[in-house]
Amino acid sequence: MISRRRFLQAGGLGSLGAALAAQAIEDGTYPPAAAQPKAARVPVHAPVRTLNGWTLPYVMKDGVKEFHLVAEEFEHEFAPGTVAKCWGYNGTTPGPTIEAVEGDRVRILVTNRLGEHTTIHWHGIILPSGMDGVGGVSQPHIQPGETFAYEFTLKQHGTHMYHPHADEMVQMAAGMMGMFIIHPREPEPVPVDRDYCLLLHNWMVHPGTYRPDPSVMVEFDLWTFNSKVFPAIDPIVARTGERVRVRMANLSMWNHPIHLHGAQFYVTGSDGGRWPRSQWRSEATEIVAVGQTRDIEFTAVPGDWAFHCHMAHHTMNAMGHEIPNPLGVDQSGVADEIKKMLPGFMPMGRYGMAEHQEHTEMGLPGPENTLPMLVGVGPYGNIEMGGMFTLVKVRDDLEPGDYRDPGWYKAPPGTVAWRVSRDPDFGEPPRRSG
């Protein structure tokens, strides 16, 4: 089978590359090496890996790359324990990533299998007004059962998105969105070895219900990377020393300060393309605002490193909002009275919420079709995270192109924090008096 890397290379190398790509799609094979022009075997760019997702194939028709998106409803699992009826494209939310090359002519067919009309806006992409996808302004709506074609030439490169501009609040809240990656025509001066992309989004799936609630403005209970919550989010995997790029796009209702542990990264690009190197800046946290895309790049350092939104409630699942705060309150007497009406009730919160995960692991039942706030177990105990959280897993011995989860990092002796004492009065720590 043709690899994605060779597939993208072939598609960006003129008529011969186009013919090879078309043949590969037609028969599912790639021509033998002897039949390939030398240029087709030279890497131009790394294909993008969509966490928990996939890249949409295309066919070549008279020099045009033709993609086909289908807007439809389907069941989507955010993590084991929560499944909802969502809307998206080609059976997934986010929809499949579209990858093409600067200068390509693309045609994107959009079939509407929803119960209401829709459109698609190509966010940040330079194109004719009539291809911009704003229903009623630049095009007629795509009615249920209809297929529309969008066709334009890609005049830029960078990290972009697609989403509806029709009943936008409902359709986006239900999951209709995807990534559109345009690779530069020429090889990048500083090439990357691994290229990832993810969409930031938020959902309200009320416990016991099975559809996202589009009327919620602020108090969401699921915060996702590519419509998954931790621990169901794929890790970002790399070999020690590799240059990694993570492309992030935000179509949620919040801004997200994305933080990477273990490395300072460079912010290197956006939907405006990869910036000149003089504009790169070193950060450990980067805010990705609503409607923005940001690219970050770093050199992989061995270990398991957290990668997450730094808004604390965005790294939790299924939070309750506007409920009493029992922190510091002895609830034992109240709990006895509540248990008379609600057998199995267990109070929580006097000393914090860390015990929540322990209770769920003990089998304390929760509402139907929802998730614990704090989940995940690592080599040293409970991870107590959720939502927009995953791990960057870097190992010395990974092969190029190997994206499998390598398991937990085995830290060299003497490099893990250790217990010194169990005495709360240990030592003589200085305190400010008065």
Mean pLDDT of the chain: 86
The whole-angstrom separation of Cα 405 and Cα 374 is: 22
Quick one: average pLDDT of 50-66?
97
Please enumerate in sequence order all residues whose Cβ is within 8 A of that of 117, keeping only pairs 6 or more positions apart, or say none: 135, 141, 142, 143, 144, 166, 167
Same domain, 52 and 184: yes
Same domain, 133 and 30: no
Nearest to 116 by CA among 44, 36, 174: 174
Range of the domain at 35: 1-44
Same domain, 73 and 17: no
Residue 11, pLDDT > 70, answer no
Which residues face 281 on adjacent strands? 267
Domain annotation covers residue 223: no
Domain annotation covers residue 221: no
Domain annotation covers residue 238: no
Lookup: tokens for 122:
């190509």
If one counts every other C-beta atom within 10 angstroms of the C-beta of residue 103, the result is 14
- Residue 138 has a pLDDT of 95
Residue 421 sits at φ, ψ, to 5 deg, of -160, 155
Return the higher-pLDDT residue of 34 and 324.
324
Residue 29, pLDDT > 60, answer no
Domain annotation covers residue 94: yes
Same domain, 37 and 75: no
- Residue 172 has a pLDDT of 96
Q: What angle do CA 90, 133, 151 make, to 5 degrees?
A: 75
| Residue 175: CATH number of its domain | 2.60.40.420
Same domain, 126 and 58: yes
The whole-angstrom separation of Cα 52 and Cα 228 is: 8
Quick one: average pLDDT of 281-287?
97
Domain annotation covers residue 55: yes
Largest Cα separation within the chain, whole Å, is: 82
Report yes or no on whether pTM surpasses 0.85. Answer: no
Q: 3-state DSSP call for residue 158? A: strand
Domain annotation covers residue 240: no
pLDDT range class, residue 9, cuts 50, 70, 90: very low
Strands 236-239 and 389-395: parallel
- Residue 321 has a pLDDT of 58
Domain annotation covers residue 281: no
Same domain, 186 and 56: yes
Same domain, 154 and 179: yes
Segment 230-283, tens digit of pLDDT = 999 999 999 999 999 999 999 999 999 999 999 999 999 999 899 999 999 999
pLDDT range class, residue 43, cuts 50, 70, 90: very low
Number of domains in the chain: 3
Please enumerate in sequence order all residues whose Cβ is within 8 A of that of 127, keeping only pairs 6 or more positions apart, or say none: 152, 155
Length of the chain: 434
- Residue 433 has a pLDDT of 82
The whole-angstrom separation of Cα 268 and Cα 278 is: 10
Same domain, 4 and 110: no
The whole-angstrom separation of Cα 157 and Cα 181 is: 8
- Residue 40 has a pLDDT of 36
| Range of lowest pLDDT (40-49, 236-245, 296-305) | 40-49
Measured N-to-C along each axis, helices 4-11 and 14-27 cross at an angle, to the nearest 10 degrees, of 140
Same domain, 71 and 23: no
User: What amino acid occupies position 175?
Assistant: G
Nearest to 49 by CA among 288, 400, 307: 400
Segment 136-171, tens digit of pLDDT = 999 999 999 999 999 999 999 999 999 999 999 999
Same domain, 56 and 183: yes
Same domain, 12 and 123: no
Single residue among 190, 225, 246 that ends a domain in this structure:
190
**CB-neighbour burial class of residue 432 (10 A; exposed 0-12, middle 13-18, buried 19+):** exposed
Domain annotation covers residue 64: yes
Same domain, 176 and 72: yes
